Amino acid sequence: MKKEQVLNLADVLGRMKRVKRTGWMKRMVMNPESDAEHSYSLAMLVMLLAPARLDKLKCLQLALIHDLPEIICGDIVPGEMNIKEKSELEQSAMKTIVKSLEVPQLQELFDEYEQHQTPEAQLVWVLDRLDNVFTARFYQNTMHIGLVREFCESALERLYYLNDTELRDELDKVLSALK
């Protein structure tokens, strides 16, 4: 990497650590997780829950970059903006990041995640919501904030988008254990 790319990468990584997750702030969670913490947690779920038949490296890459545009446009929660506007804003942000890092593969990965047409992208897209349930469970246990039911419903909605019924059933069991 060239020096400018390295410096830009340092900026990107630092900014990921500073973006606080809006959904938790709106629910008055003290010291809510950052996008970097969420992406790490999502990557752990991928590592532990992705079946061997999927490309686990691809899943991990998708998990690590899925919220990257938020360093520029912020964490936009569902219902805060129409889907088309959100997509356009995030695509523009991703193009800026890709240009600064000179890594076109990041755009390809982000597009794959956003379209959630591949089995890997579908899994990460579902696990993104499932991670919220894990986090809600943690906040409920440590801060006594009852958010699990709300996030279970949201995760369940995404779960039924999975084309892989065996994986869907397995993740449904994980979700049920968190209730």
**Mean pLDDT computed over 159-163:** 90
Q: Token pair of 171, please? A: 């993740």
The H or E element containing residue 98 is helix 83-101
Residue 85 confidence (pLDDT) above 90: yes
The full length of the chain comes to 179
Q: Do residues 50 and 39 make contact, with C-beta atoms less than 8 angstroms apart?
A: no
Nearest to 125 by CA among 134, 136, 115: 115
Nearest to 65 by CA among 85, 28, 29, 90: 90
pLDDT tens digits for 132-156? 999 999 999 999 988 899 899 999 9
**Mean pLDDT computed over 84-101:** 97
Kindly state the DSSP code that residue 125 receives in the 8-state scheme. H
- Domain range for 99 is 3-178
pLDDT of residue 77: 87
**Mean pLDDT computed over 149-165:** 91
Residue 66 confidence (pLDDT) above 90: yes
**Mean pLDDT computed over 22-49:** 96
pLDDT of residue 79: 83
pLDDT of residue 110: 98
Q: Which amino acid is at 95?
A: K
* Integer Cα distance of 37 and 135 in angstroms: 10
Residue 16 confidence (pLDDT) above 90: yes
Number of domains forming the structure of the chain: 1
Query: Which pLDDT band holds residue 67 (cuts at 50, 70, 90)?
Result: very high
pLDDT of residue 80: 87
Q: Report the CATH number that the domain containing residue 23 is assigned in CATH.
A: 1.10.3210.10
pLDDT tens digits for 110-137? 999 999 999 999 999 999 999 999 999 9
